[in-house]
């Protein structure tokens, strides 16, 4: 069966401020050594499995030009622009109606645009496994990440080890971000995987589930789908999409649907959740500093310093994150990385839009 | 007797990098809250005692325009430009021959241009006392600072408590920067003062001492003095000044001369020796941060942050010095302030003149 992909690239992650901005979210940034952006790497990874013409990018209208620029090989009509952000269920629904228009039915791989994966072949193997399982009947497949520590920042998915389907297991339930004690228990049972936000199903399967579980949304998506290729396409999307309920695919479908399977993924996944991730994904020098740009370090260790043309002289520093951009510089203790959002709140309160 | 002043402003202090540069040394920077530069404050302080037309500024030729710009009320002919830096003895000698040309004899107050003084009236009183003592016979007067802790970064001057002249004491000897143990002993004896580099004497007295103790230098200074006001003035200075021995007034004169007196100064003196001084001289907010410019601080305490137009967001920081300029940013742990010179060494080795 034809394989298609929907890469979700509408996010506005604030955790990479000041490099990420409203006008340039994380998926359009290069955070690795090789210079390619997160979304470019995402497309690159699935090329051996899915043709460029079958890769759809769902994003906000504001980012259309960024997508065109960074992914010139993606057909422009495959860039699906949401007039407003409405969480993942409408986003995936919009992708599904486009794919249904192009192909009667197809396999649909849904991927975030801002994660990193180290072992490409293992990842591709997982996608292939997922496709095989999704092709049978009306299975919904998600890819879980085998946790290696009790992370409290991710949702978890409990599976039933005694109910396998190929390499996948039947899903027992989706659970929200746990506290540390609960996360430790999850880790110990070995029956929980991290929710990676990657899904595989047939277009027909996800649309069937939308019809049953989110019927109002389905009706509106049908209208949008009917207009594709007509002169009313834009107008109907503009009018109808904002009316869709803002709900996640997890909550709207996955927690309620049947025949859900999860593939345990072990392919060096990283959600690159904050500046701290840069230490994991970029090479550090012998002092443990991860340094980009015009930097002098004197007696510094274990810092992340992301500069550019401007000289940054770091003296006697330890465990700091320093990010310099044209109009703003962040200097943050590693232990306070989660407080970067307070900077953004402060900027919002003070109406300093130019920095957001 | 006429009172004149020589303000020495040829220094190239590197400890305020990146704000201070070869092209803009510390004395031309504003490091206080009030916006005036160090040299402007120096002139301002002595105005009640010395007329503008009797204040001479000795500096490097490269800084002539800066002096003209920052001190427009100083007569341009009072700006004495050294073709090259030759330490304080030639600098003071050059001032003395200019003053001798203008007035047969006069009192000469010699002051650094990059120190701060908190209590102006007490400072002026000390200068007046010094003038009275210097006016008598051939006394050389220096102003010492009463130490309040065992500083190892200053030279000390030992005085003889039983040999007073007005409010001053006879100087026993000049001593180099001590180690911490020696500094503690000095503090305990109460017979040592910090060497502030401030002197008062008659022009005739200092010239007499130069003639006796540095006769070669005196001969050359005489040539320079004879040419003042003639068309050969510049040419002679250019040719002769570089030939003067590079020696400090302390070593060349004060350690060998007779009739040296020291006035204990208690007027809130600060040599503003490094960025750490900014904490002493500028107001901190309730978190102990001393902040200038476009700054957001989140959970920060006891930092010195000197920014400008560019936004600096500081998150979870403690005891750092952050200085942002157009082309370079310094981020330095307070405990490592003395390592800033290593940044400059690095820049020199790499021939990155644009940052020096």
Secondary structure string (H, E, C) spanning chain B: CCEEEEEEECCCCCCCCCCCECCECHHHCCCCCCCCCHHHHHHHHHCCCCCHHHEEEEEEHHHHHHHHHHCCCCCHHHEEEECCCCCHHHHHHHHHHHHHHHCCCCEEEEEECCCEECCHHHHHHHHHHHHHHHHCCCCEEEEEECCCCCCCCCCEEEEEEEEEECCEEEEEEEECCCCHHHHHHHHHHCCEEEEEEEEEEEHHHHHHHHHHHCHHHHHHHHHHHHHCCCCCHHHHHHHHHHHCCCCCHHHHHHCCCCCEEEEEECCCEECCCCCCHHHHHCCCCCCCCEEECCEEEECCECCEEECCCCEEEEECCECEEEEECCCEEEEEEHHHHHHHHHHHHHHHHCCCHHHC
Inter-chain residue contact B296 with A333, CB threshold 8 Å: no
Q: pLDDT tens digit string along A72-126?
A: 999 999 999 999 999 999 999 999 999 999 998 999 999 999 999 999 999 999 9
Inter-chain residue contact A333 with B316, CB threshold 8 Å: yes
- Encoded tokens for B222: 């005489």
For A136, the enclosing helix (H) or strand (E) is none
Contacts of B333 in chain A (CB under 8 A): 315-318
Rg of chain B (C-alpha set): 21
Which chain B residue lies closest to A334 (C-alpha atoms)? B316
ipTM: 0.88
CB A316 within 8 A of CB B336: yes
DSSP category for residue A77 = G
CB A189 within 8 A of CB A230: no
Integer Cα distance of B9 and B39 in angstroms: 8
Q: Residue B92: its pLDDT value, please?
A: 98
Secondary structure string (H, E, C) spanning A282-340: CCCCCCCCEEECCEEEECCECCEEECCCCEEEEECCECEEEEECCCEEEEEEHHHHHHH
Q: Residue A13: its pLDDT value, please?
A: 74
Which chain A residue lies closest to B335 (C-alpha atoms)? A316
Integer Cα distance of B46 and B60 in angstroms: 22
Closest CA to A52 of A78, A34, A16: A78
Q: pLDDT tens digit string along A248-304?
A: 999 999 999 999 999 999 999 999 999 999 998 899 999 999 999 999 999 999 999
A–B CB contacts, 8 A cutoff, strictly below? 114
Q: Residue A11: its pLDDT value, please?
A: 86
Distance between A315 CA and the closest CA of chain B, angstroms: 4
Considering only CB atoms, A331 lies closest to which of B299, B312, B339, namely B312
Q: Residue B150: its pLDDT value, please?
A: 95
Q: Residue B51: its pLDDT value, please?
A: 97
Inter-chain residue contact A311 with B328, CB threshold 8 Å: yes
Q: Read off the pLDDT band of A14 (50, 70, 90).
A: confident
Distance between A24 CA and the closest CA of chain B, angstroms: 18
Q: Residue B107: its pLDDT value, please?
A: 98
Closest CA to B298 of B311, B315, B317: B315
Q: pLDDT tens digit string along B161-215?
A: 999 998 999 999 999 999 999 999 999 999 999 999 999 999 999 999 999 999 9
User: Is residue A350 classed exposed, middle or buried when 0-12, 13-18 and 19+ CB atoms within 10 A define those classes?
Assistant: exposed
Distance between B280 CA and the closest CA of chain A, angstroms: 21
Q: Residue B351: its pLDDT value, please?
A: 93
Inter-chain residue contact B331 with A340, CB threshold 8 Å: no
Q: Read off the pLDDT band of A33 (50, 70, 90).
A: confident
Q: Residue B13: its pLDDT value, please?
A: 74
Q: Does A335 touch chain B (CB under 8 A)?
A: yes
Q: How many CB atoms within 10 Å of residue B23?
A: 11
* Chain B 277-316, residues with CB within 8 Å of chain A CB atoms: 296, 298-299, 310-316
Q: pLDDT tens digit string along A147-200?
A: 999 999 999 999 999 999 999 999 999 999 999 999 999 999 999 999 999 999
What pLDDT tens digit does each residue of chain B (356 aa) get? Answer: 999 999 999 988 788 999 999 999 999 999 988 889 999 999 999 999 999 999 999 999 999 999 999 999 999 999 999 999 999 999 999 999 999 999 989 999 999 999 999 999 999 999 999 999 999 999 999 999 999 999 999 999 999 999 999 899 999 999 999 999 999 999 999 999 999 999 999 999 999 999 999 999 999 999 999 999 999 999 999 999 999 999 999 999 999 999 999 999 999 999 999 999 999 889 999 999 999 999 999 999 999 999 999 999 999 999 999 999 999 999 999 999 999 999 999 999 999 999 99
Q: Residue A12: its pLDDT value, please?
A: 81
Which chain B residue lies closest to A340 (C-alpha atoms)? B315
CB A271 within 8 A of CB A11: no
CB B239 within 8 A of CB B227: no
Q: Does B348 touch chain A (CB under 8 A)?
A: no
The CA-based diameter of chain B, rounded to the nearest angstrom, is: 64
Integer Cα distance of B32 and A162 in angstroms: 73
Tell me: pLDDT of A39 over 80: yes
Inter-chain residue contact A328 with B347, CB threshold 8 Å: no
């Amino acid at each position: 069966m034809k394989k298609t992909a929907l890469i979700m690239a509408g996010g506005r992650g604030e955790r990479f401020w000041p490099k990420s901005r409203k006008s340039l979210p994380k998926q359009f940034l290069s955070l690795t050594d090789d210079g390619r952006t997160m979304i470019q790497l995402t497309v690159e990874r699935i090329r051996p499995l899915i043709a460029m013409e079958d890769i759809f990018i769902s994003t906000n209208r504001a980012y259309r030009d960024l997508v065109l620029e960074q992914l010139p090989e993606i057909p422009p009509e495959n860039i699906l622009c949401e007039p407003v952000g409405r969480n993942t269920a409408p986003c995936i629904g919009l992708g599904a109606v486009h794919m249904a228009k192009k192909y009667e039915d197809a396999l649909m791989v849904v991927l975030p645009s801002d994660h990193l994966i180290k072992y490409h072949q293992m990842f591709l193997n997982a996608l292939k496994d997922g496709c095989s399982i999704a092709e049978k009947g009306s299975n919904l497949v998600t890819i879980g990440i085998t946790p290696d520590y009790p992370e409290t920042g991710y949702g978890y998915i409990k599976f039933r080890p005694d109910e396998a389907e190929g390499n996948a297991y039947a899903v027992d339930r989706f659970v929200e971000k746990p506290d540390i004690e609960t996360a430790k228990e999850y880790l110990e049972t070995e029956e929980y995987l991290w929710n990676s936000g990657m899904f595989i199903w047939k277009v027909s399967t996800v649309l069937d589930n939308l019809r049953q579980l989110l019927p109002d949304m389905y009706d509106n998506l049908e209208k949008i789908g009917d207009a594709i290729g007509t002169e009313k396409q834009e107008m109907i999307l503009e009018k109808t999409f904002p009316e869709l309920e803002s709900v996640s695919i997890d909550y709207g479908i996955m927690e309620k649907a049947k025949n859900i399977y999860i593939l345990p993924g072990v392919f060096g996944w990283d959600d690159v959740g904050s500046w701290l991730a840069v230490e994991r994904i970029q090479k550090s020098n012998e002092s443990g500093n991860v340094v980009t740009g015009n930097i002098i370090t004197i007696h510094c260790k274990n810092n992340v310093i992301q500069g550019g043309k401007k000289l940054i002289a770091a003296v006697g520093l330890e465990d700091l994150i320093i990010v310099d951009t044209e109009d703003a510089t962040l200097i943050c203790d590693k232990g306070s990385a989660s407080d970067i959002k307070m900077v953004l709140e402060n900027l919002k309160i003070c109406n300093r839009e130019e920095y957001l």
